[in-house]
Amino acid sequence: MTQMPTIARQPDHPVAPQFPARWSPRSFTDRSLTMDEILTLLEAARWAPSASNHQPWRLVWALRDEPGFTAIHAALTGNNLTWAGKAAALIVVASKDTVLNRDSVEVPNRTAGFDTGAAWMSLALQAQTMGLAAHAMGGFDQAALAAAVALPGGHTLHCVVAVGEQGPVTALPEDLAAREKPSGRKPLSETTRHGRF
Ligand SMILES: Cc1cc2nc3c(=O)[nH]c(=O)nc-3n(C[C@H](O)[C@H](O)[C@H](O)COP(=O)(O)O)c2cc1C
């Protein structure tokens, strides 16, 4: 019998259940993703808001057993190498650093990272709606990942997202199994202020 971790997160104030229910597990089953599922995940990211609707995010994806997946996986570092290879897909989240201004000059897009964060979260919540898990990883080798996806100049790598069906805790090595549970959050009093800092 598979043993799934209990979702026991309690928000301090009432919120839509998808927010505390989403979390980042490391165990994935062998289930593959269909092309339709991948397109649905990417479509969710597509509808994220962005400054002037520039949509600076760039997502590069590969399915398990594809050479692209192996190349992205090999660019991961630390513990990520241990568990992320079981994901059904790896999605590299990058952004274009500049936009064309009114004079057709490429200028820095200072909200590119912010907008791309919104796109990743849309994808993660879509995954959850589909009964899938999405786990972002900032632990990767910049040069190796850039080479793996042929990152063009003027782009920034943000993270790699592992997506798949959540697997049993027992499939993980002991050290990772011990951490396979939803984390808590700082109280609002630590991260928010009324009016000014
Ligand atoms: C940008 C980013 C980078 C992250 N990098 C890693 C990583 O390299 N390895 C990992 O196991 N988890 C990584 N995480 C997952 C976080 O540790 C996790 O989201 C956080 O602890 C909150 O837990 P939750 O997503 O389960 O709610 C990353 C998350 C984000 C958003």
13 falls within a domain: no
Of all protein residues, the one whose alpha carbon is nearest to atom 13 of ligand 1 is: 137
Quick check: 83 and 29 in contact, CB under 8 A?
A: no
pLDDT at residue 6 greater than cutoff 70? no
Say how many Å lie between the first and final Cα of the chain, rounded: 50
Q: What is the per-residue pLDDT across 160-177, written as a single tens digit (0 to 9) for each? A: 999 999 999 999 999 999
Q: Is the CB of 11 inside a 6 Å radius of any atom of ligand 1?
A: no
Residue 80 tokens read as 């990520």
Q: Would you say the CB of residue 156 lies under 6 angstroms from ligand 1?
A: no
Please report the atom of ligand 1 found closest to the CA of residue 135: 15
What's the chain's Rg over C-alpha atoms?
18
Cβ atoms of 171 and 165 closer than 8 Å: no
Domain that holds residue 113: 26-178
> Residue 188: inside a domain, yes or no?
no
In which element (H, E) is residue 163 found? strand 155-164
Quick check: 61 pLDDT over 50? yes
- Number of structural domains in the chain: 1
| 59 in a structural domain | yes
User: pLDDT above 90 covers what percent of the chain?
Assistant: 95
Contact 92, 119 (CB under 8 A): no
Kindly report the protein residue whose alpha carbon is nearest to atom 22 of ligand 1.
183
135, 161, 166: residue to mutate for ligand 1 pocket, most atoms within 8 A of CB: 135
Partners of residue 187 on adjacent β-strands: none
Instruction: With respect to residue 158, please indicate whether it lies within any of the assigned structural domains.
Output: yes
Q: For residue 135, report the distance from its CA to the centre of ligand 1, in Å.
A: 7
The CATH number of whichever domain residue 87 belongs to comes to 3.40.109.10
pTM: 0.96
Q: DSSP character for 30? A: S
The stretch 100-124 carries a mean pLDDT of 96
Classify the C-alpha dihedral 27-61-50-125 as positive or negative: negative
136 lines ligand 1 (CB under 6 A): yes
